[in-house]
Amino acid sequence: MWLFRRKGPSGFSSSSTAEEVTQGIDASGLTAIVTGASSGIGTETTRVLALRGAHVIMGVRNMAAGKDVKEAIVKEIPTAKIDAIELDLSSLSSVRKFASEFNSSGRPLNILINNAGIMATPFMLSKDNIELQFATNHVGHFLLTNLLLDTMKKTARKSSKEGRIVNVSSEAHRYPYREGIRFDKINDPSGYSSFAAYGQSKLANILHANELAKRLKEDGADITANSLHPGAIVTNLFRHNSTINGLVNLLGRAVLKSVQQGAATTCYVALHPQVKGVTGEYFSDSNLAKPRPQGQDVDLAKKLWDFSMDLVK
Predicted pLDDT of residue 2: 44
Q: Which residue from 216, 193, 13 is spatially nearest to 112, judged by alpha carbons?
A: 216
CB 276 within 8 A of CB 110: no
CB 282 within 8 A of CB 228: yes
Average pLDDT over residues 272-300: 98
Average pLDDT over residues 181-209: 97
Positions marked catalytic: 192
Span of 28-32, 183-187, 248-252, 279-283 with lowest mean pLDDT: 248-252
Predicted pLDDT of residue 234: 65
pTM (predicted TM-score): 0.94
pLDDT 10s digits, 165-178: 999 999 999 999 99
Name residues whose C-beta falls within 8 Å of residue 178's C-beta, 6 or more positions apart in sequence: none
Q: How many angstroms separate the CA atoms of 35 and 68, rounded?
A: 16
- pLDDT tier at 236, thresholds 50, 70, 90: low
Q: Is the pLDDT higher at 24 or at 253?
A: 24
Q: Where are the domains of the chain?
A: 20-312
Q: Which residue from 5, 8, 55, 20 is spatially nearest to 267, judged by alpha carbons?
A: 20
Task: Please classify residue 274 by burial: count the beta carbons closer than 10 Å to its beta carbon, then call 0-12 exposed, 13-18 middle and 19+ buried.
Answer: middle
CB 65 within 8 A of CB 73: no
Region 20-312: CATH code? 3.40.50.720
